[in-house]
Amino acid sequence: MSIEKSSKAARGTVQCENTNINLLKANDYVADIIKGEMRKNKTLLINITSSAGSGKTTLMQETAKRLKDKIKMAVMVGDLETERDAVRIRESGVQALQIVTGGICHLEAQMIHQVLPEYDLANIDLLFIENVGNLVCPASFDLGEDYRVTLMATTEGDDKPKKYPRMFLTSDMMLVSKSDLLPYLPFSVDAVVKDAREVNHKLEVIQISALKGEGIDEWCDWLLAKIKEKQSS
Protein backbone atom coordinates (compact mmCIF):
# COMPACT_ATOMS: atom_id res chain seq x y z
CA MET A 1 0.00 0.00 0.00
CA SER A 2 2.69 2.45 1.01
CA ILE A 3 4.78 1.47 -2.04
CA GLU A 4 1.83 2.20 -4.32
CA LYS A 5 1.42 5.61 -2.73
CA SER A 6 5.02 6.54 -3.18
CA SER A 7 5.07 5.37 -6.80
CA LYS A 8 2.05 7.58 -7.44
CA ALA A 9 3.79 10.53 -5.96
CA ALA A 10 6.87 9.93 -8.04
CA ARG A 11 5.05 9.76 -11.36
CA GLY A 12 5.11 13.40 -12.31
CA THR A 13 8.27 15.41 -12.44
CA VAL A 14 8.32 18.93 -11.21
CA GLN A 15 10.10 21.26 -13.50
CA CYS A 16 11.26 24.70 -12.48
CA GLU A 17 11.86 27.69 -14.58
CA ASN A 18 13.77 30.67 -13.27
CA THR A 19 12.08 33.69 -14.69
CA ASN A 20 12.96 36.88 -12.82
CA ILE A 21 10.18 38.75 -14.59
CA ASN A 22 9.48 42.21 -13.27
CA LEU A 23 5.79 42.56 -12.50
CA LEU A 24 5.86 46.13 -13.68
CA LYS A 25 7.49 45.19 -16.99
CA ALA A 26 4.42 46.23 -19.00
CA ASN A 27 4.21 49.58 -17.21
CA ASP A 28 7.92 50.32 -17.58
CA TYR A 29 7.80 49.45 -21.29
CA VAL A 30 5.07 52.03 -21.90
CA ALA A 31 6.86 54.55 -19.63
CA ASP A 32 9.88 54.30 -21.93
CA ILE A 33 7.69 55.07 -24.96
CA ILE A 34 6.36 58.17 -23.17
CA LYS A 35 9.94 59.23 -22.33
CA GLY A 36 10.82 58.96 -26.02
CA GLU A 37 7.85 61.12 -27.03
CA MET A 38 8.83 63.79 -24.50
CA ARG A 39 12.45 63.73 -25.64
CA LYS A 40 11.40 64.12 -29.29
CA ASN A 41 9.14 67.10 -28.51
CA LYS A 42 11.37 68.59 -25.82
CA THR A 43 8.44 68.64 -23.41
CA LEU A 44 9.24 68.60 -19.70
CA LEU A 45 7.02 66.01 -17.97
CA ILE A 46 6.40 66.38 -14.24
CA ASN A 47 4.51 63.86 -12.10
CA ILE A 48 2.83 65.55 -9.13
CA THR A 49 2.01 63.22 -6.26
CA SER A 50 0.70 63.66 -2.71
CA SER A 51 -2.05 62.67 -0.30
CA ALA A 52 -5.61 63.68 -1.13
CA GLY A 53 -6.28 67.31 -0.27
CA SER A 54 -2.72 68.60 -0.02
CA GLY A 55 -3.20 71.30 -2.64
CA LYS A 56 -2.10 69.78 -5.97
CA THR A 57 -4.88 71.37 -8.01
CA THR A 58 -4.51 74.79 -6.35
CA LEU A 59 -0.79 74.61 -7.13
CA MET A 60 -1.59 73.79 -10.77
CA GLN A 61 -3.90 76.82 -10.96
CA GLU A 62 -1.32 79.16 -9.43
CA THR A 63 1.48 77.79 -11.62
CA ALA A 64 -0.70 78.23 -14.71
CA LYS A 65 -1.50 81.85 -13.80
CA ARG A 66 2.17 82.73 -13.43
CA LEU A 67 3.64 80.78 -16.32
CA LYS A 68 1.02 80.69 -19.05
CA ASP A 69 2.32 83.87 -20.71
CA LYS A 70 5.94 82.73 -20.53
CA ILE A 71 5.63 79.12 -21.67
CA LYS A 72 3.07 76.69 -23.05
CA MET A 73 1.78 74.54 -20.23
CA ALA A 74 -0.78 71.71 -20.08
CA VAL A 75 -2.06 69.33 -17.42
CA MET A 76 -3.54 65.85 -17.20
CA VAL A 77 -5.22 65.02 -13.95
CA GLY A 78 -6.15 61.65 -12.47
CA ASP A 79 -8.99 61.00 -10.07
CA LEU A 80 -11.19 58.05 -9.17
CA GLU A 81 -14.30 59.97 -10.23
CA THR A 82 -15.52 63.41 -11.46
CA GLU A 83 -14.02 66.00 -13.78
CA ARG A 84 -13.87 68.71 -11.11
CA ASP A 85 -10.10 69.18 -11.05
CA ALA A 86 -9.74 69.49 -14.82
CA VAL A 87 -12.52 72.09 -14.86
CA ARG A 88 -10.75 74.10 -12.14
CA ILE A 89 -7.42 74.00 -14.00
CA ARG A 90 -9.02 74.96 -17.35
CA GLU A 91 -10.42 78.07 -15.64
CA SER A 92 -6.79 79.21 -15.28
CA GLY A 93 -6.49 79.18 -19.06
CA VAL A 94 -4.47 76.04 -19.78
CA GLN A 95 -5.40 72.78 -21.45
CA ALA A 96 -6.40 70.13 -18.90
CA LEU A 97 -7.82 66.66 -19.42
CA GLN A 98 -9.27 64.47 -16.72
CA ILE A 99 -8.33 60.81 -16.49
CA VAL A 100 -11.07 59.07 -14.52
CA THR A 101 -9.54 55.88 -13.17
CA GLY A 102 -12.87 54.42 -12.06
CA GLY A 103 -11.63 53.25 -8.69
CA ILE A 104 -7.98 52.57 -9.46
CA CYS A 105 -5.80 54.18 -6.81
CA HIS A 106 -2.96 55.35 -9.08
CA LEU A 107 -2.16 56.30 -12.68
CA GLU A 108 -0.32 53.80 -14.88
CA ALA A 109 1.84 54.58 -17.90
CA GLN A 110 -0.76 53.03 -20.22
CA MET A 111 -3.38 55.58 -19.10
CA ILE A 112 -1.01 58.47 -19.85
CA HIS A 113 -0.07 57.01 -23.23
CA GLN A 114 -3.74 56.71 -24.16
CA VAL A 115 -4.46 60.43 -23.67
CA LEU A 116 -1.17 61.74 -25.15
CA PRO A 117 -2.62 62.08 -28.70
CA GLU A 118 -4.99 64.73 -27.29
CA TYR A 119 -2.00 67.00 -26.66
CA ASP A 120 -0.04 68.92 -29.26
CA LEU A 121 3.27 68.03 -27.63
CA ALA A 122 5.40 69.88 -30.18
CA ASN A 123 3.86 73.09 -28.83
CA ILE A 124 3.91 72.20 -25.13
CA ASP A 125 6.95 73.10 -23.00
CA LEU A 126 5.66 71.78 -19.70
CA LEU A 127 3.20 68.94 -19.13
CA PHE A 128 2.05 68.13 -15.61
CA ILE A 129 0.52 64.86 -14.54
CA GLU A 130 -1.51 65.47 -11.41
CA ASN A 131 -1.61 61.95 -9.96
CA VAL A 132 -4.36 60.39 -7.84
CA GLY A 133 -4.12 61.64 -4.24
CA ASN A 134 -2.34 58.73 -2.56
CA LEU A 135 1.17 58.40 -1.12
CA VAL A 136 1.31 54.60 -1.55
CA CYS A 137 0.55 53.07 -4.97
CA PRO A 138 1.56 55.94 -7.31
CA ALA A 139 5.12 55.56 -5.96
CA SER A 140 5.54 52.25 -7.82
CA PHE A 141 4.47 53.39 -11.28
CA ASP A 142 6.93 55.20 -13.53
CA LEU A 143 4.93 57.42 -15.90
CA GLY A 144 7.94 58.42 -17.98
CA GLU A 145 8.33 61.69 -16.09
CA ASP A 146 11.50 63.80 -15.97
CA TYR A 147 10.88 64.72 -12.34
CA ARG A 148 8.60 63.55 -9.56
CA VAL A 149 7.38 66.26 -7.23
CA THR A 150 5.61 65.37 -3.97
CA LEU A 151 3.49 67.81 -2.02
CA MET A 152 3.57 67.42 1.74
CA ALA A 153 0.92 69.61 3.35
CA THR A 154 1.48 71.06 6.80
CA THR A 155 -2.00 69.79 7.72
CA GLU A 156 -0.90 66.19 7.17
CA GLY A 157 1.57 66.13 10.05
CA ASP A 158 5.37 66.16 9.88
CA ASP A 159 5.79 62.38 10.31
CA LYS A 160 4.78 61.30 6.80
CA PRO A 161 8.13 60.78 4.97
CA LYS A 162 9.04 57.76 7.10
CA LYS A 163 5.51 56.39 6.94
CA TYR A 164 5.47 56.44 3.14
CA PRO A 165 9.21 56.10 2.40
CA ARG A 166 9.01 54.91 -1.18
CA MET A 167 7.22 58.03 -2.36
CA PHE A 168 9.88 60.30 -0.84
CA LEU A 169 12.70 58.02 -1.99
CA THR A 170 11.51 58.24 -5.61
CA SER A 171 10.78 61.98 -5.59
CA ASP A 172 13.14 64.72 -6.75
CA MET A 173 11.38 67.60 -5.04
CA MET A 174 9.24 67.94 -1.92
CA LEU A 175 6.97 70.95 -1.71
CA VAL A 176 5.94 71.65 1.89
CA SER A 177 2.51 73.09 1.05
CA LYS A 178 -0.02 75.20 2.97
CA SER A 179 2.82 76.98 4.75
CA ASP A 180 0.42 79.85 5.59
CA LEU A 181 -1.17 77.51 8.16
CA LEU A 182 2.11 76.89 10.03
CA PRO A 183 1.28 79.34 12.88
CA TYR A 184 -1.81 77.27 13.73
CA LEU A 185 -0.37 73.75 13.48
CA PRO A 186 2.02 71.60 15.54
CA PHE A 187 4.10 71.01 12.40
CA SER A 188 7.88 71.29 12.28
CA VAL A 189 9.37 72.02 8.86
CA ASP A 190 12.82 71.06 10.22
CA ALA A 191 11.51 67.68 11.38
CA VAL A 192 9.83 66.87 8.07
CA VAL A 193 12.91 67.88 6.07
CA LYS A 194 15.20 65.87 8.36
CA ASP A 195 13.07 62.71 8.00
CA ALA A 196 12.61 63.17 4.26
CA ARG A 197 16.37 63.60 3.74
CA GLU A 198 17.15 60.51 5.81
CA VAL A 199 15.07 58.64 3.23
CA ASN A 200 16.42 60.59 0.25
CA HIS A 201 19.46 62.80 0.71
CA LYS A 202 19.10 64.25 -2.79
CA LEU A 203 15.56 65.54 -2.22
CA GLU A 204 15.13 69.26 -2.96
CA VAL A 205 12.70 71.18 -0.76
CA ILE A 206 10.65 74.36 -1.23
CA GLN A 207 8.15 75.69 1.30
CA ILE A 208 5.06 77.00 -0.48
CA SER A 209 1.64 78.48 0.00
CA ALA A 210 -0.30 78.44 -3.25
CA LEU A 211 -3.00 80.61 -1.66
CA LYS A 212 -0.73 83.31 -0.21
CA GLY A 213 2.10 83.05 -2.72
CA GLU A 214 5.03 82.04 -0.49
CA GLY A 215 7.65 80.06 -2.41
CA ILE A 216 5.69 80.09 -5.68
CA ASP A 217 8.28 82.28 -7.43
CA GLU A 218 11.04 79.90 -6.37
CA TRP A 219 8.94 76.95 -7.61
CA CYS A 220 8.29 78.65 -10.97
CA ASP A 221 11.98 79.51 -11.34
CA TRP A 222 12.85 75.85 -10.70
CA LEU A 223 10.39 74.80 -13.42
CA LEU A 224 11.71 77.38 -15.91
CA ALA A 225 15.28 76.22 -15.29
CA LYS A 226 14.28 72.57 -15.88
CA ILE A 227 12.39 73.53 -19.06
CA LYS A 228 15.49 75.34 -20.32
CA GLU A 229 17.64 72.29 -19.55
CA LYS A 230 15.22 70.01 -21.40
CA GLN A 231 15.05 72.26 -24.44
CA SER A 232 18.79 72.60 -24.75
CA SER A 233 19.32 68.83 -24.38
Binding site for another protein (CB under 8 A): 12-26, 103-106, 136-137, 139-140, 162, 165-166, 169, 197-202
Choice between 114 and 231, CB closer to another protein:
114
CB of 5 to another protein, least distance (A): 17
Cα angle: 182, vertex 192, 77; to 5 degrees: 80
Distance of alpha carbon 182 from alpha carbon 186, whole angstroms: 8
CB of 119 to another protein, least distance (A): 26
CB of 65 to another protein, least distance (A): 34
Choice between 182 and 199, CB closer to another protein:
199
Choice between 102 and 117, CB closer to another protein:
102
CB of 136 to another protein, least distance (A): 5
Choice between 121 and 169, CB closer to another protein:
169
- The length of the chain in residues reads 233
Judge contact between 96 and 76, C-beta under 8 A: yes
Choice between 30 and 126, CB closer to another protein:
30
Strands 147-153 and 173-177: parallel
Closest of 214, 171, 207 to residue 192, by C-alpha: 207
Q: What distance lies between CA 80 and its chain's CA centroid?
A: 15
User: Burial, 168: exposed, middle or buried (Cβ in 10 Å; 0-12, 13-18, 19+)?
Assistant: buried
Bridge partners for 74 per DSSP = 95, 127
CB of 211 to another protein, least distance (A): 31
